[in-house]
Amino acid sequence: MTTLKAGDKAPNFSGTDQDGKTHKLADYAGKKLVVFFYPKASTPGCTAEACDLRDNFHRFQANNYGLLGVSADSAKAQIKFKDKYELPFPLIADEDKSVINAFGVWGPKKFMGREYDGIHRTTFVINEKGIIEEVIEKVKTKEHASQILK
């Protein structure tokens, strides 16, 4: 699981969003970047998290932050999620899990006594120079923005 920690250089990722646009770490140079990984679009926890970030989006913009959501959902699922909840930030459709694996958030999970592999809800706050400032593993879905913008 997540081996990246504060002080590490962020992975030089490249992922495609819901509209087919490519996003790379280099695109956000000179800006802070929040990369939040979520298990599945349109599920209750993921919706609460994305909507909290949406509702505080102006605060992120005011503080020079870019936001990127990432899950292994298809572009079609990401479009539905983004449109339904009017999310103002791109959602990476990481079906091949290249970004997910680069950040080390894929691994064993437990749900209702069953073990399986999946995405661990984790957020990375990356500074203007591409260095990870913070890794949030205990995400509070309904108040995630305040965890990031302390």
pLDDT digits (tens, 9 = 90+) for 128-137: 999 999 999 9
Tell me the H-state helices in 22-74: 44-55, 57-62
Average pLDDT estimate for 65-92: 98
Which is higher by pLDDT, 47 or 114? 47
Q: Strand 132-136 and strand 122-126: pairing?
A: antiparallel
CA-CA distance, 125 to 90, in Å (whole number)? Answer: 16
Amino acid identity, residue 115? Answer: E
Per-residue pLDDT, 112 = 84
pTM confidence score? 0.95
Per-residue pLDDT, 3 = 82
pLDDT over 70 (residue 54): yes
CA-CA distance, 45 to 37, in Å (whole number)? Answer: 12
* Band of residue 110 on the pLDDT scale cut at 50, 70, 90: confident
pLDDT over 80 (residue 1): no
CA-CA distance, 37 to 132, in Å (whole number)? Answer: 15
pLDDT over 90 (residue 52): yes
CA-CA distance, 60 to 58, in Å (whole number)? Answer: 5
pLDDT over 90 (residue 150): no
46 is catalytic: yes
**Residues 93, 60 contacting (CB under 8 angstroms):** no
Beta strands in the chain (DSSP E): 14-16, 22-24, 32-37, 65-71, 91-93, 106-111, 114-119, 122-126, 132-136
CA-CA distance, 84 to 11, in Å (whole number)? Answer: 30
Residue with tokens 């969003």: 17
Per-residue pLDDT, 2 = 63
**Residues 63, 32 contacting (CB under 8 angstroms):** yes
Please tell me which residue in 10, 34, 41, 46 is annotated as part of the active site: 46
Tell me the pLDDT of the chain averaged across its residues.
95
* Band of residue 63 on the pLDDT scale cut at 50, 70, 90: very high
Closest of 24, 28, 22 to residue 11, by C-alpha: 24
